[in-house]
Chain A
Amino acid sequence: DGGITQSPKYLFRKEGQNVTLSCEQNLNHDAMYWYRQDPGQGLRLIYYSQIVNDFQKGDIAEGYSVSREKKESFPLTVTSAQKNPTAFYLCASSIDQGANTEAFFGQGTRLTVV
């Protein structure tokens, strides 16, 4: 079955530790995205990538890093520099970033930093 897989679904980390969230897709999509969702805030863009080995910062990139070494994978690292990391993180992909291409979302990772 084609789709986007995020793992794990729930993640707990101690403050000050870096943590990497996994996102894999087998849809052969060029574009991939990371969003963060907080209660009452909607989805805010962290990073996106249009093609392998290329990515751009979104609105709230500070304290996060990404890599796009393979077309199917777009991992997100939440670093200790991120002041408020507890949130629901959603990965998405689309065929490309053309006008009429919708984004397909993974099931999300709920990160709790204690």
Chain B
Amino acid sequence: GQNIDQPTEMTATEGAIVQINCTYQTSGFNGLFWYQQHAGEAPTFLSYNVLDGLEEKGRFSSFLSRSKGYSYLLLKELQMKDSASYLCAVRDKAGTALIFGKGTTLSVSS
């Protein structure tokens, strides 16, 4: 079966760094995506990994290890507006839809 696991909730303070982990067991692998979703709104695309290693995009970075079925999203210099749910999604093979984890709700406090 297909399974994507993330922690349900995390808390952090403004200015800090937080790492959100995602592990996956899927029948194949054709890319891993991270999305941000504020309450009641649409998910917005943050990053994409298909090869092992780190992809950096401003304050956000995402890492992938295909052999371990593991990814993380790293958020630096946290701001209050980063309080949101972070969704990990995998495309297991070309021509199919993304499979999403249940999301991690991040609360940033001052």
Contacts and interface: CB of A to CB of B under 8 A. Distances in A.
A16 interface: no
Contacts of A45: 97-99
B42 A90 contact: yes
A41 to B, nearest CB: 6
Nearest to A31: B97
A45 B91 CA distance: 12
4 cross-chain pairs, A with B, having the tightest CB-CB distances, nearest first: A42-B102, A105-B42, A43-B100, A99-B30
B91 A33 contact: no
Residue among A50, A90, A99, A107 facing the most chain B CB atoms (10 A cut-off): A99
What is the size category of the interface that chain B forms with chain A?
20 to 34
B30 A43 contact: no
Contacts of B40: 88, 108, 110
Interface of A: 31, 33, 35, 40-45, 48, 50, 58, 88, 90, 97-100, 102-108, 110
Given A48-B97, A97-B95, A107-B42, 19 more contacts: A33-B98, A35-B100, A40-B8, A41-B102, A42-B87, A42-B101, A43-B43, A43-B100, A45-B98, A45-B99, A97-B94, A97-B96, A99-B94, A102-B33, A103-B45, A103-B97, A103-B98, A105-B42, A107-B41
